[in-house]
Amino acid sequence: MSMPVSHQVSMKRSPRWSYRLCRTLGVLLIFGFTSLSIFYDTVTIKEKTICQGIHVEKSLPNSIYSVKPSVTTSSNTLPNFTTCSCSLSRNISESAGDHGQISPRELNISYYVSLEEAYFERMRAVDVSRIKEKVPRNKLRGFKSRFLPNRNFMQFPLLTMENVCITPSGALMLIGTSDAEITHNVSGHRAIPELYFVWNEIYNCSGNVTTDHCVGVTFSKTLPRGHSYIPGNTTHMLPYIGNPMHNWAERTWPFIMASSDPIRATVPHPINHYLIHRFEKWFRESHYLPDRAQMLWQFRMVMELSGDTSPGFLVVRNQSKPLCFERLILQMHSRDRIDETRLPVKMAGAGVRKFRESVFSFFRISSPPQVTGPPGKLRVLFYGRNDTSRRRVRNSPEVVEVLRSFSRPPLDVLFLDEMLASGETNYSFPEVIRLFTRTDILVIAHGANTWPTFLLPDGAGVVEIIGPCNWSSKNYSDLTVPHTWMHVNAAACRLKHDLSNPFHRSVPNPDRGNTTQCLDPFHGVPDYTVDLEKLEEIIHSLAYPDRAGDRLTQHWLYDWDSLLP
């Protein structure tokens, strides 16, 4: 029995139609994958092209993407470098991670920036293992390590060495010279006799054994094999481990001044590149040690200062071979630390203000912070050092209670010790910015946490309580003026800085000698209590105007009774 014609035709054509259908599906699949690939490439290009407002361009011959700050670069560029690539900026909640808590006060920075983003997305962070350059042939014969003359204004800091290398362990390698010759050379800087001591304290103190606190020095008759060469002026940053205040006063401060007018105009070797001693170790430890993070943030903000005169290269990562430098600016703190500076306040304050502006710009704070005007409450932050082991305010709860009892003017009081203990805030740099830029009156026990007072609003009040033991420094420009670490910060930001020291009585500290006497800055250190009546008087004394339009004064002149129901 024969089948219908139509069915016969259908049976004959079905293989052909199956083939066409399969071919069509294959074309559609190929088209789909191609479209997805194009879309992915487009997103990737945008990712590499837009990185938190930073201009991104291909680097030199190796054509690897690098992050380039929008600055005017000098001629001292580093050829053939592999740098970090950008990633799309995340939103605040995603990037903040464990440090993303919002302060109970109004947020004053527009977004959170992590150390990873600060160093590796917003700088040219160089993988030094990929540097291929060698010392040029025309410099091979004369490549000898020596100190360069320091003709800087007022002999301000920063000795520079010419033709010097750094080993993979971090030690200086001096070429074609000897310890005796270098010692005579540094001793020859007779105008700055302290430099000989500093050289032996932080560079030559351990020979060729490098440590966290000491670089170490070794000698070689010839250039090391397999070296890489970095032309221009490279700074060598040696952190002060364990204390952000000392890092600020001794290690960050010289670079702030050298990178800011009017001192910058006198520096013989402007900064082109940066190298932080043991950077990768500090960066790894910064995830769980707050002082490491603060130290790296300070250095990172210094790099913002020289952005308009430097390509901003950061030479930090994966050193596995000797690096040799045309000129290396050493981490020799100045003749005077920030707390002992002989520089006029106007000159020293200019550098601090420039540093402050760089911080605000980096975190996109559009305008400098302002003291709150009435009828808003004055914002008070109190810190009694109760998370430390010495110089603690033992009646801190009573201090907070007295401050919160003010009604004319009313005070909005935050107790930093309590916030730290509860995890409401932390010592991360963005959190420090949030707290200090939103503080009108700071009541603080003298210590390391006074270093970021340059972030306070202009004209804010600071009550610094030294306690029974005054181991603070002298003010060499005026020996009659009380003086502490934050002397320059207070002058730079025109703070109302009270140093009348309202401590009441010494309290024995079992952890530090169990004595009420001031025997030793580390072991014989008592705690103390604050005289509450004196503190009230000091707070009211901040009402006295020291300039036209004093915003603190306005709070004492305001009619607070008009707000009563």
Q: What is the side-by-side order of every strand in the sheet holding 496-498?
A: 411-415, 378-383, 441-445, 461-465, 496-498
For the chain, helix (H) and strand (E) counts, in that order, are: 17, 19
Contact assessment for residue 92 and residue 364, using Cβ atoms and an 8 Å cutoff: no
Pairing of strands 527-530, 503-507: antiparallel
Instruction: Kindly tell me if the per-residue pLDDT of 136 is higher than 60.
Output: yes
Q: Give residue for tokens 């011959």.
A: 61
Give 496's strand partners: 461
DSSP 249: I
Amino acid identity at 123: M
The better pLDDT of the pair 504, 141 is held by: 504
Residue of 341 and 352 predicted with greater confidence? 352
pLDDT of res. 266: 79
Q: Minimal CA–CA distance to 67: which of 52, 79, 54?
A: 54
Question: Using one digit for the tens of pLDDT, what is the confidence trace for 64-113?
Answer: 222 333 333 333 444 444 333 332 233 333 333 333 333 444 444 555 78
For position 278, what pLDDT does the model report?
Answer: 92
Which residue, 427, 165, 457, 158, is CA-closest to 296?
427
The pLDDT of residue 427: 84
Contact predicate 80/128, CB 8 Å: no
Report the SS3 class of residue 37. Answer: helix
Task: State how far Cα 78 lies from the chain centre.
Answer: 24
Position 66 scores a pLDDT of 29
Q: What is the mean pLDDT of residues 330-347?
A: 77
Contact of 329 with 270, CB cutoff 8 Å: no
- Degrees to nearest 5, angle at CA 249 with 164 and 483: 150
- Whole-angstrom Cα Rg for the chain: 30
Output phi, psi for 246, to 5 deg: -65, -35
Cα–Cα nearest to 202, from 162, 167, 250, 169? 250
> Token match 């990768």: residue?
280
**Packing angle of the helix pair 345-362, 290-305 (nearest 10 deg):** 100
The span from the CA of 142 to the CA of 96, in Å, is 51
State residue 339's pLDDT score. Answer: 79
What's the confidence (pLDDT) of residue 12?
42
Cα distances from 229 to residues 137, 139, 273, 391, in angstroms, run 12, 11, 13, 48
The 10s digit of each residue's pLDDT in 488-532 is 899 899 999 999 999 999 999 998 889 999 888 888 899 999 999
- Please tell me the predicted confidence (pLDDT) of residue 333: 67
Instruction: List the structure tokens of 397.
Output: 């709860």
Query: Can you tell me the distance from the alpha carbon of 348 to that of 339, in angstroms, rounded to the nearest whole number?
Result: 11
What digits encode the pLDDT tens for the residues 186-243? 766 555 666 777 788 888 887 777 888 889 999 999 999 999 999 999 999 999 988 8
List the one residue out of 294, 335, 332, 338 whose CA is nearest residue 472.
338
**In this structure, are residues 512 and 391 in contact, taking their beta carbons and an 8 Å threshold?**
no
DSSP sequence for 90-118? PPHHHHHGGG-PPPSSPP-SSS---HHHH
From residue 331, give the alpha-carbon distance in Å to each of 193, 200, 253, 256, 533: 16, 12, 11, 12, 46
Instruction: Report which of residues 545 and 11 the model is more confident about.
Output: 545
pLDDT digits (tens, 9 = 90+) for 438-461: 999 999 999 888 999 999 999 999
Q: Which residue has better confidence, 269 or 32?
A: 269
Could you tell me what percent of the chain has a pLDDT over 90?
Answer: 42
Going by pLDDT thresholds of 50, 70 and 90, the confidence category of residue 344 is confident
Report the range of poorest mean pLDDT among 73-82, 335-344, 405-414: 73-82
Beta strands at 217-220 and 54-58: parallel, antiparallel or unpaired: unpaired
Contact at 8 Å (CB) between 257 and 355?
Answer: no
For residues 555-565, give the mean pLDDT: 85
Query: Residue 269 in contact with residue 329, Cβ under 8 Å?
Result: yes
Quote the pLDDT of residue 357: 92
DSSP state of 324: E
Cis peptide leading into 565, omega within 30 of 0?
A: no
Mean pLDDT calculated for residue range 172-198? 77
Question: Residue 99's pLDDT is what?
Answer: 34
Q: What is the pLDDT of residue 197?
A: 76
Name the amino acid, one letter, at 359: V
Residue-wise over 94-124: b if at least 16 C-beta within 10 A, else e? ebbeebeeebeeeebbebbbbbebbbbbbbb
Q: Name the residue among 207, 221, 137, 129 with its Cα closest to residue 174.
A: 221
Q: What is the Cα–Cα distance from 361 to 315, expressed in whole angstroms?
A: 23
